[in-house]
Structure 1
């Protein structure tokens, strides 16, 4: 029987594969291209979805974010707080994300490696643990991880759509 941990490993692995495919061969200009005024860019979307995954998984695991602990914040050199994940970013903020595909893929792989090490050991009892009691009902680890997967897949789909239009 497939375990919940196996499903999580597969899901996060697919997100990582998708991020690599969506940016493959794209120039920094293509990664920063807006298909309409105010639309998000592929580069921003991929950065954002991995930042949210990094942030949420680190919080749930009680570990440091890869973004900070492994120096990705400095490598990207973005003009945001080290804690920024893209949530609430304006059009102007999106305009400042100019990156190379290799950097996005490297960060995505680093986040995925940490995520997979964490989720592959989870049990059903672990998934029932409350990770955020500021909501009603309180958020369990299972709900948080499914939320991250859903958010990641939505943003990955948006990036794939933009790529198809390029």
Structure 2
């Protein structure tokens, strides 16, 4: 019986420690806003200017089909010569209900967050027609640097057809 109660306690306690934040929290809203700058602004419109403020200089991006990109400068250049040069407009959409934000703390002080979710990719025709080309999972690690959120690591993986 002791083992049963100890197991129950551990399960409940661990879920409290590792629980994602509520989608109404300030942390969730801040990270989601930065996700929008990376994808809704940067990826979807090729306006990469926000990357200068929210991508860390030593950013590392891991892509299961494209390899590793090291550094903000290389990441921005890969966007300029890749997604932004396609013969069609590429679009990324966050899959509703998949975004999760997990706080990173040391001694009770917030220093970062892990963002994860699923995203879908589309080819947008000149007439505005969207054709889904695939889906994937993503994870971003965000750190607070001088009270500003900076993406330091990014993973895009499990790419597959829709």
By the TM > 0.5 criterion, same fold? no
Q: Give the TM-score taking structure 1 as reference length.
A: 0.27
Which of the two has greater helix per residue?
A: 1
Which of the two has greater strand per residue?
A: 2
Q: Give the TM-score taking structure 2 as reference length.
A: 0.27
